[in-house]
Amino acid sequence: MYCLLMTSGGQVWKRKWRIRIFLLNGIAEIFVSITALNERLSVLLENDSQWSVIQELKDIKKRKLVEPSQYTYELLLEKLAREGDLDNCKEIIRLLLQRGFVLSKECINSLIYCYTFRGQHNKADTLVKKSTEKYGPIAFAEAQGVCLRASAAKGDISQLCEVLRRATTNIEDDQSYISSDDMLETIWLLTENSHNGHDIKSMNLIEQILDQMRHEKGFFRKLIREVERHISHQHYLTAVTLLEDTNKVAEYIKNQRPSVYMQQMLGQLCRQLIRNKVDVTKVSDIANRINAIFRSRPEIYRIHDDILYAALMEKNYSQEQRMEFFFLFIDAVDKERQREHLILPLLTRSYFCITMNYLLV
């Protein structure tokens, strides 16, 4: 049986789940392979869903035909690490070693995350050194990415800055760079934990992270996906900051028709701003920032038009709300008052509504 699964980052994965159905005493019991269970746990982690590791272990024990694999314990350990549950992390490692499995790089990364999340940075640094000595520069990059994500999840800005500085100064080769996935996830966690996603310190730090990010193959698609993610969760300033970073990858995306993506993203941003009834002044600030960022891109010049159009066409807006946007944006849209098709219908409707209200009174 095939299933399409949407991850937290917007990626769609097609996974094959093998389910064997046995009929016992007229009751259908479903036995799922350990591969299917691992895929389920992986998707739950990707979507940041709420679930209990202890309960999952109990369910696995009930399935007599299913034995947990190395990957199963790695997923359970990652979940506990995100919660900062060090005691149960140690218990999972004990079970893993008891069954003859090895303490893999992924297990060490989970412990690094847990120690960093709990503020035990000395122990985390010790594990980073051990992992680097055993697995090489790529392990160092992964461990630094883990420290970044853990610091962002905890909201520890000072530690995050220290890790970022350490990671960007100790680069030996291409394998020593922190992956863009870890960087983008750090930005997401930082935005989620900041004050309504608009904290000034967080915004400055996000810009620093973007400056240090490596633009490898496929980066533009990841960036656009993250913009969609931030827009859908109403983190508009962060979305605009991410959109600004597209100017830096222009030479990498000549064959990807970036203007099409940009028009789609900006259209979605305008509709979300209006639909969620964001304050008019804040909408104006966002529009002015977008206009300043993409002044050299002719397809972005009509951002004020798009916002005004979305406001005038929003069916849940009152006439007063439409007029408020109209008076704020009309100078940017039609300073010379030459676009009658914009002005006259709205003024006529406004006059008609005022007249009807007067007659009814």
Q: How many CB atoms lie within 10 A of CB 350?
A: 15
The number of domains in the chain is: 1
Closest CA to 24 of 64, 59, 67: 64
Q: What is the pLDDT of residues 114-136, one digit of tens each?
A: 999 999 999 999 999 999 999 98
- Taking Cα atoms as reference points, which of 316, 315, 288, 282 lies closest to residue 303? 288
pTM of the predicted structure, to 2 decimals: 0.80
Q: CB–CB of 75/34 below 8 Å?
A: no
Cβ atoms 5, 12 nearer than 8 A: yes
**264 in a domain, yes or no?**
yes
Structure tokens at 53: 């590791």
Q: Which residue has the tokens 């100017």?
A: 247
pLDDT at position 309: 84
- The whole-number pLDDT of residue 74 equals 95
Domain that holds residue 344: 259-360
Predicted local distance difference test score (pLDDT) of residue 20: 38
**Residues contacting residue 338 through CB under 8 Å, at least 6 positions apart:** none
**Residue 183: predicted pLDDT:** 92
pLDDT digits (tens, 9 = 90+) for 156-173: 888 888 888 887 776 666
Please indicate, yes or no, if residue 199 is contained in any of the structural domains.
no
DSSP readout, 263-278? HHHHHHHHHHHHHTT-
Q: How many CB atoms are located within 10 Å of the residue 77 CB? A: 29
Is 280:230 a contact under the CB 8 Å cutoff? no
CA gap 269, 306 in Å, rounded: 10
**Within-domain flag for 275:** yes
pLDDT at 196: 54
Q: Is residue 295 part of a domain?
A: yes
Cα–Cα dist 9/183, whole Å = 13
Residue 235 within a domain: no
d(CA 232, CA 346): 30
* CA separation for the pair 239, 224 (Å, rounded): 9
CA dihedral sign, ordered 326, 328, 332, 334: positive
Instruction: Answer yes or no: is 125 within a domain.
Output: no
pLDDT for the residue 250:
57
Chain Cα centroid distance, residue 281: 26
Asked if the structure places residue 356 within a domain, the reply is yes
Distance in angstroms (rounded) separating the CA atoms of residues 62 and 90 = 23
Residues in the chain: 361
Which is it for the CA torsion 9, 10, 13, 17, positive or negative? positive
Distances (CA, A) of 327 to 35, 223, 342: 59, 34, 12
What residue spans of the chain are helical by DSSP H?
34-46, 53-62, 70-83, 86-98, 105-117, 121-135, 137-154, 157-169, 180-193, 200-212, 219-232, 236-244, 258-275, 280-293, 303-313, 319-333, 340-360
Using CB atoms within 10 A of its CB, is residue 55 exposed (0-12), middle (13-18) or buried (19+)? Answer: exposed
- Torsion of Cα atoms, 91 then 97 then 102 then 106, to 10°: -10
Q: Give a yes or no: residue 265 inside a domain.
A: yes
Q: Which residues of the chain have pLDDT under 70?
A: 1-31, 64-65, 170-176, 195-200, 248-260, 296-301, 342-361
Structure tokens at 110: 């989970």
Residue 246's pLDDT is 74
Write down the pLDDT at residue 91: 94
